[in-house]
């Protein structure tokens, strides 16, 4: 078998978390300037940043406002 499958590699390190956060925030800034507040979508942001939807919600602060 030539492919490698990552199975639960544990909790990301602080360095990985910081990198992911900076990646999402950078993508969010560019995306927000392109589409504005009304058209902003965390799903699309996650796709642009290459992370799961949960990561973009946490980094953008939107998770706190969800009920």
What pLDDT, on the 0 to 100 scale, is given for residue 65? 47
CATH numbers and ranges of domains, the chain: 14-65 (1.10.10)
Lowest-pLDDT choice from 17-21, 38-42, 57-61: 57-61
Q: How far apart are CA 43 and CA 45, in angstroms?
A: 5
pTM: 0.63
27 pLDDT exceeds 50? yes
Q: How far apart are CA 66 and CA 60, in angstroms?
A: 12
Tokens of 51: 């992370």
Which of the two residues, 64 and 15, has the higher pLDDT score?
A: 15
What pLDDT, on the 0 to 100 scale, is given for residue 35? 95
CA distance readout (Å), 48 to 5, 10, 35, 59: 24, 25, 13, 14
Best-predicted range by mean pLDDT among 5-19, 28-42, 44-58?
A: 28-42
């Amino acid at each position: 078998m030539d492919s490698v499958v990552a199975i639960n590699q544990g909790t990301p390190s602080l360095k990985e978390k910081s990198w992911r956060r900076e990646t999402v925030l950078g993508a969010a800034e560019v995306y927000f300037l392109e589409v504005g507040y009304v058209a902003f979508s965390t799903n699309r942001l996650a796709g642009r940043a290459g992370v799961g939807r949960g990561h973009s919600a946490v980094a953008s602060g939107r998770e706190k406002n969800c009920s």
